[in-house]
Structure 1
Amino acid sequence: MKVMAFNGSPRKNGNTAALLRRCLAAVEAEGVETRFIQLGGSGIQPCRGCNACRKNDREECIIKNDPLNAWYAEMKEADGIILASPTYIWGVTGEMKIFLDRATYLARARLRAGNLEGSLKNKVGGALACHAFTGGVNAIQQMHSMFFNVQMIVPGVSYWPVATGLQPGDVEQDAGGLRYAEELGRAVARLVRRLDATKNLA
C-alpha cells in the first residue's frame, strides 16, 4: 500500500512541506508507505489544450519533457494521493493548478471514451493547505475538485486541514493545523487499508 504526496510550494522546506511531512508521518504510522514529490519548481508545463489525451483512451500527455507522465504512471499504481499547496490569491499555486489540469485530463481519458471507470477510480485523496491569513479552504476545494471529477474517494476529517504561517517555520506553532493534518493522514491511511482488504472479496 502506497500514498503519493505532492508539495505544490516552490519552497522545498517551507511551511507547506512541513505540514505535508507531518501528515505523511501519520500515514506511515498506520503502516502505509509514502512518497514525497516536490512539485513546486519541477518545471511542469501548462496544458496546451491540444486534446491529444482525449483520443483513443490515451493516458499519456503529449508533453514529454517534464515529469507529469512518469508521475501519472505512479499515481495509477498508488492507493492514495495527497496534495498540498500554499495559498496564492485565494487558491493553489500556479504549478499545482497545472498539475490539476493535466492530471485530471489524463484521468478522465477513459471516461470520455465511454468507459465507466477511470484509472484513478476509488483511490483515496486528501488535500492540505497553508495560508498567511485566509484562502486555505479555497485552495483545498480546488484540489478536491480533481478528486471528485476522477472518481476518487475523499475521507472526512473533523475540520479543514489548513495551517497558518507567514514566516518560515510558523506552521510548527499552529497546533490546530498540525493536528488536522495528522488526522487527515490517519484517515487516508485507514481508508487505504480498508479498501485494500476488500480487493479480493468479490
Structure 2
Amino acid sequence: MSRSLTQNCFKQLSRGPLRQGSLPIYLAPAFSQPQRTQPFSTTSSTQSRVGGAPISVPPEVSLKFIDLPQTQVRGVAKDIPKTAIEVKGPLGVSEGHVCILSLVGVGYRATVESTATTVEPEYPGQQFVSLKVGYSHPIELGVPQGVKASTPQPTRILLEGVNKNVVTKFAAEIREWRKPEPYKGKGIFINGETIKLKAKKIR
C-alpha cells in the first residue's frame, strides 16, 4: 500500500462522524509503516532500547528493529494469563489442588503419622505417610511442605495443596512403591486411574 493512499485513507477516517484521531487496532497492520534497517557505527555510542546503556556494534553489522504485528501481540497477550494460570496456579490458591490415591490389594493400608522411625523430619511439624503394601516393613514417606495429607479410609489417601506440581509429584512418589500390575489389578491408583487387565499366563 503506497504512502499517499495510506494518508488519504487516514484522512477519510478522521473526517467520519467519530473523528478518530488514531487508527483502530484492527486496522493497524494494514497501515503500518514498512520495516526499515538502521546501520550503527563503532565511533558513536547509541542508547540501548532496553536498559539505556550505550552499545557498540561493528561496522559490518546492521541492526533491524522489528515491531510485532498486532495479531502476534494479541496472541502473546492472550497466552500470558493462560501460562500464569497453568504454571503459577491462582486456581490453586483459591480452591487448591487435590490428588486421591486408592490402594487396591489384600492387606493394603495407609495411615498419616506425626512421627517416623526410618525417616528424619525435614521441617518442624512434618507429617509422614505410612504405607503397608505387601512389604515386610511399612514404607514411610515425608509429606512435602505445603501439602496436607489425610486418610479418610484405610485404602484412600487424600493429598491437598496449593502447588499442583508438588502435589502430583508426591502422589507419583507414593505410586512408585506399588505400581498397578496388569494381571491381578493390584497397586496404587491416582485419581481414578484404570489399567487394562491381561490374561493370566498358563504354563
Task: Compare relative contact order (CA 8 Å, sep 6+) and give the higher one, 1 or 2.
Answer: 1
TM-score (ref. length: structure 2): 0.24
Question: Structure 1 or 2: larger helix share?
Answer: 1
Question: Structure 1 or 2: larger strand share?
Answer: 2
